[in-house]
Chain A
Amino acid sequence: MARKTAMLEVKGLRATAGDKEILRGIDLTVNPGEVHAVMGPNGSGKSTLAQVLAGHPAYEVTAGRVLYDGKDLLDMEPEERAQAGIFLAFQYPVEIPGISNAYFLRAAYNEIRKARGLEEVDSMDFLDLLEEKLRLVEWGPEIMSRAVNSGFSGGEKKRNEILQMAVLEPRLAILDETDSGLDIDALRVVASGVNALRRPNNATIVVTHYQRLLNYIVPDRVHVLVGGRIVRSGGKELALELEARGYEWLEEAAEAAL
């Protein structure tokens, strides 16, 4: 059997915010078609990992490397990563009063097409495309004329992230606590949106504090992050164990190992 080429290979990744080290040596390999869950207690560094992969300028990578499709990801600007197919669903999506959801998303869509040597689409064609994607998140077209996330409820913001993801069709989607603060209906919509977008050549990293989302988006691998390191990896049953036992036993084990 031919060995699969990894989509994402993270090796010994360390990152700081200011003078505080948050990631302290992360190793992670994600293959096409896989769903990985990154779990961990608050402050473990799981959101930082998501943001570093997307290129957030607030973090400085001090060691390690990240290969995406064999290319050095850390050498790429955030927009180049997006153009190469990486998408981060933000934990706290940003409000942009003044421009409509449709305007923003079309700008993004066209920039990505441009970077790939494809023709830009006009607003009419874009509306056609949107129609199908809106159905996926069970939304009507009205949402597109509202300003980006401006005055959206928490659930609407998260749903909007999934809509963006549906339109931009990433190869590697990173969901940063997309489930936190969602009621059960919103969670179902978000999860079914993510599932509908799964393809054999795509991959998803789900960063979450709770096991709940993983009832809907079933992971192939679960990783537990404590103190900036992955202290345990396993199959989907690990998430259930965490739900039953909490994180303390792993935190204690991690401390004992130091």
Chain B
Amino acid sequence: MTQSFLQEFGARSNGATADAPDWLEPVRRAAMDRFAATGFPTVRDEEWRFTPVGPIAQGAWRQASGLVRGVTREQLAPFIFGHPEWTTLVFVDGVYAEALSSVGALAPEVRVGSLAEALRADGAMLEQHLARYAPIAGSPFTALSTAFLRDGGFVHVPANVDLAQPVHLVFVTTVEATGSVTHPRNLIMVDRGARASVIESYVTLAPGLVYWTNAVTEVVAGANSWLEHTRIQRESEQAFHVGLTHVEQQQDSHYRSFSMAMGAALARHNLHVRLNGENVETLMYGLYVTEGDQVADNHTAIYHDEPNCRSWEVYKGILDDRSRAVFNGKVFVKPKAQKTDAKQTNRNLLLSDTAKVNTKPQLEIFADDVKCTHGATVGRLDDVALFYARSRGIPAAEAQRLLTYAFAAEVIEEVALEPVRDELERLVRERLGAV
């Protein structure tokens, strides 16, 4: 199927060339060449050992046209969270939909909008950043994203500006995109001393339909910046979702990520964070909730390149039915990265006998004066806790839901911004049927 991508690339059938700056073409070409050389990964690749991407590799995917009309604000209401004061950018089948978007009150120098538009207006500035961080050699999916790069969110918060309200990027897939692939591509730049909260939502108006989202987000967190980055994946339960978030952190910056996966038949998210300066703090939280035959895969990698940095990671999973989760957490500590403090935890709650988890920490530490710990658990609800809740009058089934929710809420609590936290709690309560 690699061949069909080459043909599509040659024909530019997804309309990706219009008005793009000249420098982008060789970048795309290199990415396409890279993909042509590697093709899709298989379970023989260590990075994809537990994640069967066969259905993606063998699919005859069209590039989504992105020319959808007729989507209304009412249809999007369940995904927008009802915060008119937020900036909400809506992308329909991969393309910015201005009529469905709303931009809140922003400082004049702040740039928030469509990447395609930014490429037209600000191409020279983007050249230094776009596709410079997420390496095409890192994954064939990233190579495809860069080759077919078309649109997505562009957020630039200049030095010392506090964005005040979150920016919500909503990627919605419609029935029109059935059988096709979109490549949402985001660039988030939070400069020195700036502060922002950015949410990415991957949602669908076509529940039960098959499509594929191949998303890449590049993040640059400048010196002494603060960024909360939330990712909510609620694709169709038959869809495929592959995503990479690549973060570059400068000295004294604080980056916190919360990645929630509830949708898709097969979902894979890679979160890579590189610590480029001293005194960086990185918090990585994750929650996956799966049922049926869903597969949720999270691969995280944190690169402690510099001394005196702290990373803290907690991913939790709730698995029902025959669903499966994969967690791989890499921590690389360079020889010079002394006084690194890294902690990684992966906890899984099984609600059925047939759910399964493959969890693997992978620590490669080349400095000697560091504190690095990891731990993984796979278990069930605690019988004594269940009895405790029941002894207070809560029926068994309710008590199970309550404790399952509590398991999830413990990590959602780590989301800093209350309105975002509230929405995540609501989504999980709905999903678990909890009170």
Q: How far is the CA of A78 from the CA of B398 in the complex (A)?
A: 13
Contact (A78, B391) CB under 8 Å given A58-B383, A96-B406, A98-B406:
yes
Whether a CB of chain B sits under 8 angstroms from the CB of A44 is no
Contact (A99, B402) CB under 8 Å given A58-B383, A94-B385, A107-B435:
yes
- Would you call B413 and A93 a contact (CB within 8 A)? no
Binds B, one of A11-19, A49-57, A66-74, A205-213: A49-57
Q: Which residues of B contact A58 (CB under 8 A)?
A: 383
Q: How far is the CA of A147 from the CA of B409 in the complex (A)?
A: 10
Whether a CB of chain B sits under 8 angstroms from the CB of A90 is yes
Whether a CB of chain A sits under 8 angstroms from the CB of B366 is no
Q: Which residues of B contact A234 (CB under 8 A)?
A: none
A76-90, CB < 8 A from B: 77-79, 81-83, 87-88, 90
A167 to B, closest residue via Cβ = B392
Q: In terms of DSSP, what is the predominant structure of the interface of chain B? A: helix
A78 to B, closest residue via Cβ = B390
- Would you call A90 and B388 a contact (CB within 8 A)? yes
Q: How far is the CA of A58 from the CA of B391 in the complex (A)?
A: 13
Smallest beta-carbon distance A143→chain B, Å: 17
- Would you call B406 and A168 a contact (CB within 8 A)? no
Whether a CB of chain A sits under 8 angstroms from the CB of B27 is no
Contact (A98, B435) CB under 8 Å given A111-B394, A111-B398:
no
**Partner pick for B383 among A57, A96, A148, A168, CB 8 A cutoff:** A57
- Would you call A111 and B385 a contact (CB within 8 A)? no
**Partner pick for B393 among A97, A115, A148, CB 8 A cutoff:** A115
Q: How many interface residues does B have (CB within 8 Å)?
A: 26
Whether a CB of chain B sits under 8 angstroms from the CB of A224 is no
Q: How many interface residues does A have (CB within 8 Å)?
A: 32
Q: How far is the CA of A23 from the CA of B405 in the complex (A)?
A: 36
**Partner pick for A79 among B384, B395, B405, CB 8 A cutoff:** B395
Q: How far is the CA of A164 from the CA of B393 in the complex (A)?
A: 11
- Would you call A108 and B392 a contact (CB within 8 A)? yes
A124-148, CB < 8 A from B: 147-148
- Chain A CB count within 10 A is highest, among B384, B389, B402, B413, for B389
Smallest beta-carbon distance A101→chain B, Å: 12
Smallest beta-carbon distance A109→chain B, Å: 8
A-B residue pairs in contact (CB < 8 Å), sample of 28: A55-B387, A56-B387, A57-B383, A58-B383, A77-B395, A77-B396, A79-B393, A79-B394, A79-B399, A82-B391, A87-B391, A87-B392, A90-B391, A93-B388, A94-B384, A96-B385, A96-B388, A98-B409, A98-B413, A99-B406, A105-B392, A107-B394, A107-B402, A107-B435, A108-B389, A108-B392, A112-B393, A115-B393
Q: Which 8 A-B pairs have the closest CB atoms?
A: A98-B406, A98-B410, A82-B393, A98-B409, A108-B392, A78-B390, A94-B388, A112-B393
A residues whose Cβ falls under 8 Å from a Cβ of B = 54-58, 77-79, 81-83, 87-88, 90, 93-94, 96-99, 104-105, 107-109, 111-112, 115, 147-148, 164, 168
Given contacts A97-B410, A107-B394, A168-B393, 14 further A-B contacts (CB under 8 A): A55-B390, A58-B383, A77-B396, A78-B391, A82-B390, A88-B391, A94-B384, A96-B389, A98-B406, A99-B405, A104-B402, A107-B398, A107-B435, A115-B393
